[in-house]
Amino acid sequence: MLGHKGFRINAFQRIRPDGGSPPMEPRFQQRKEQLLAGCQIPPALFRGVMSRLEVFARPFAASLPSPESREHSRTYLAGLLSDLERKNAETIAYRNDLDRQVIQRFLGEVAWDHDPLIDELNRQVACTLGRPDAVLVIDPSAFAQKGTASVGVKRRWCGRLGKVENCQVGVFLGYVGDEGHALVDFRLYLPREWARDRKRRTRAGVPEGIRYRTRHELALEMLRCRGDALPHGWVAGDDEMGRPAWFRARLAGDQQRYFLAVPSNTTIRDLEEAPPPYGGHGRRPKPPFRGVRRWCEALPAAAWTKLTVRDGEKGPLEVEIVARRVESKIERRVVGFEEMLVVIRYEDGGVVKYDYHLSNAAPDTPPGEFARVAKAAHRIEECLKRSKSEAGLGTYQVRNWLGWHHHMALSLIATWFLVEEARRGKKGHAGVDGAAGAGGSGSDPAPGEPMRHATSGGTDETAEAGAERAGAALSL
């Protein structure tokens, strides 16, 4: 890893106050050397990358309405994968010596349907990464925008900026399997005031049939649209997704096995706890409702199961997990169905933290399986980070409905190309694509079109995955 002015930065080094480095166990020193060795990327790995991108883009461009649109889609994909700092229609056009209006019209005015491109993306992800125990992960993500004209923009909390700001919100669906992870679909969240404002809708090109839908309704739509095409065993999401009981009930009704984070103020009744003594009159008492944090603090030490997640820099990374049958209560109303409460406890920077989840999984589900799915749920953060930092997901400059959806679709496809390139690199840098491979013929990137390799989905991820598999039972 190269730092400022090319000096090598050892990401695993920790400096003591006296300026020295702490001792490291021999096996972890060896692992460190293996990880650093994996960070060295042979230049030949990139040979033929532009020809591979050309071949990669063909099935996606096939559904576009004209030869010009197909050519512009390849130009835009190459721009999203380039070293441009701001990856939008204008900068990509200038990089390719085109009039900016040519790419802007392709992105925001030409009425091509992005759904067939996402269908092809899902087909490829299913063929490459598909497995029956994979996890579909739902996560909203905000994109800061200036002004009030961009479709769906509203002042609200933006987690990326850590403050209230004008932003758009997209709801994303990620696919996480043992062999990799990728974003596979998206929806734009249109706030209620936008949905009711005919003038704003018309200016932003919002289709007539689009109505206000909650983020949870958008998530259900994506699951119903993509779930059959993507083999999976679980649906996961953060505490925004897990908070409403109706959403969990709807997933169960759709035969989806869910594992959803819930807030720390969730109130539950432990159905496996011994009830208070019966006084002989009226209904038999049940265990009381309590906040999940208070319930956790009352558990005996023997209730927790310790699991090794993977080998870390200073030793094995371990978590503790407990799972119980419960029913929950929201705003003084009992939800009326049983679930599994799964709490994962771990230490982060010397502070003990708790992650709370509710699931409709069978009570005999092994703790290690819950921990595996919890790890998978966090992978969507890596998916979004990779797309934003490497494929221009958040650097667009489009205002209307059409442009936003076109950019998002092409950005997800560009990110998938990075995933494929990373997988190619994992296979011993061999020419899995034939002549365009590292040992075969093919052209290097043109001087005017430098390419960037996936940092979060590439070599570093390979090393991390190797460390996890070497360390313990949780393969994700």
In this prediction, residue 6 carries a pLDDT of 35
Q: Are 240 and 362 members of one domain?
A: no
CA proximity to 376, closest of 239, 166, 181, 167:
181
In this prediction, residue 9 carries a pLDDT of 33
In this prediction, residue 45 carries a pLDDT of 54
Q: Are 111 and 155 members of one domain?
A: yes
Dist CA 158 CA 144 (whole Å): 7
Q: Does the pLDDT of residue 114 top 60, yes or no?
A: yes
Q: Are 56 and 69 members of one domain?
A: yes
- On whether the CB atoms of residues 270 and 294 are closer than 8 A, the answer is no
> Where a domain ends, among 382, 399, 414?
382
Q: Taking residues 14-29, what's their average pLDDT?
A: 53
Q: Are 120 and 209 members of one domain?
A: yes
In this prediction, residue 350 carries a pLDDT of 84
Q: Are 266 and 334 members of one domain?
A: yes
Dist CA 420 CA 97 (whole Å): 28
Domain count, the chain: 3
Q: What is the per-residue pLDDT across 44-75, written as a single tens digit (0 to 9) for each? A: 555 678 899 999 999 999 999 999 999 999 99
In this prediction, residue 450 carries a pLDDT of 46
Q: What is the per-residue pLDDT across 453-467, written as a single tens digit (0 to 9) for each? A: 333 333 333 333 333
78 occurs within a structural domain? yes
Q: Are 292 and 149 members of one domain?
A: no
Dist CA 367 CA 344 (whole Å): 10
Return the SS3 of 25: coil
Q: Does the pLDDT of residue 191 top 50, yes or no?
A: yes
Count of residues for the chain? 476
The fraction of the chain above a pLDDT of 70, given in percent, is 78
Dist CA 265 CA 258 (whole Å): 20
Q: Does the pLDDT of residue 28 top 80, yes or no?
A: no
Dist CA 397 CA 84 (whole Å): 14
Q: Taking residues 182-189, what's their average pLDDT?
A: 98
In this prediction, residue 184 carries a pLDDT of 98
Reading the block at residue 182, the tokens are: 């990728």
Q: Taking residues 246-273, what's their average pLDDT?
A: 95
Q: What is the per-residue pLDDT across 302-350, written as a single tens digit (0 to 9) for each? A: 999 999 876 555 556 789 999 999 999 877 778 889 999 999 999 888 8
Range with the lowest mean pLDDT among 237-246, 256-265, 389-398? 389-398
Dist CA 177 CA 128 (whole Å): 10
Alpha-carbon distances, residue 451 vs 62, 446, 454, 458, 463 (angstroms): 24, 9, 10, 14, 22
Q: Taking residues 121-148, what's their average pLDDT?
A: 94
Distance of CA 180 to the CA centre of its chain: 11
In this prediction, residue 448 carries a pLDDT of 42
Range of the domain at 104: 43-245+383-464
471 occurs within a structural domain? no
291 occurs within a structural domain? yes
In this prediction, residue 35 carries a pLDDT of 62
Dist CA 396 CA 91 (whole Å): 10
In this prediction, residue 333 carries a pLDDT of 79
In this prediction, residue 10 carries a pLDDT of 39
More reliable by pLDDT, 447 or 40: 40
- On whether the CB atoms of residues 136 and 236 are closer than 8 A, the answer is yes
Residue type, 203: R
Q: Are 192 and 336 members of one domain?
A: no
473 occurs within a structural domain? no
Q: Taking residues 221-225, what's their average pLDDT?
A: 97
Q: Are 83 and 167 members of one domain?
A: yes
In this prediction, residue 349 carries a pLDDT of 82
Q: Are 388 and 329 members of one domain?
A: no
Q: Which of 18-22, 69-73, 278-282, 470-474 has the highest mean pLDDT?
A: 69-73
Q: Please report where in the chains the tokens 């721009």 appear, as a residue.
A: 79
Q: Tell me the pTM.
A: 0.80
Alpha-carbon distances, residue 11 vs 14, 15, 20, 128 (angstroms): 8, 11, 15, 31
Q: Are 207 and 347 members of one domain?
A: no
For the chain, how far is it from start to end, CA to CA, in angstroms? 24
Q: Does the pLDDT of residue 133 top 90, yes or no?
A: yes
Q: Does the pLDDT of residue 149 top 60, yes or no?
A: yes
> Where a domain ends, among 382, 407, 423?
382
Range with the lowest mean pLDDT among 116-125, 169-178, 348-357? 348-357
216 occurs within a structural domain? yes
Q: Taking residues 201-215, what's their average pLDDT?
A: 95
Give one DSSP letter per residue of 192-249, joined into a string.
HHHHH-HHHHHHHT--TT-----HHHHHHHHHHHHTTTS--SEEEE-HHHHS-HHHHH
Q: Which residues make beta-bridge pairs with 185?
A: 173
Q: Does the pLDDT of residue 157 top 50, yes or no?
A: yes
Alpha-carbon distances, residue 3 vs 6, 9, 11 (angstroms): 5, 6, 10
- On whether the CB atoms of residues 262 and 242 are closer than 8 A, the answer is yes
In this prediction, residue 426 carries a pLDDT of 74
Average pLDDT, the chain: 82
Q: Are 62 and 179 members of one domain?
A: yes
Q: What is the per-residue pLDDT across 418-450, written as a single tens digit (0 to 9) for each? A: 999 988 877 754 444 443 333 333 444 443 444
Q: Please list, in sequence order, all residues whose beta carbon lies within 8 angstroms of the beta carbon of residue 259, skipping any fewer than 6 positions away.
A: 135, 234, 235, 236, 342, 357, 359, 361, 370, 373, 374, 377
Q: Please list, in sequence order, all residues whose beta carbon lies within 8 angstroms of the beta carbon of residue 175, skipping any fewer than 6 positions away.
A: 125, 129, 134, 135, 136, 137, 181, 182, 183, 184, 230, 232
Q: Are 59 and 175 members of one domain?
A: yes
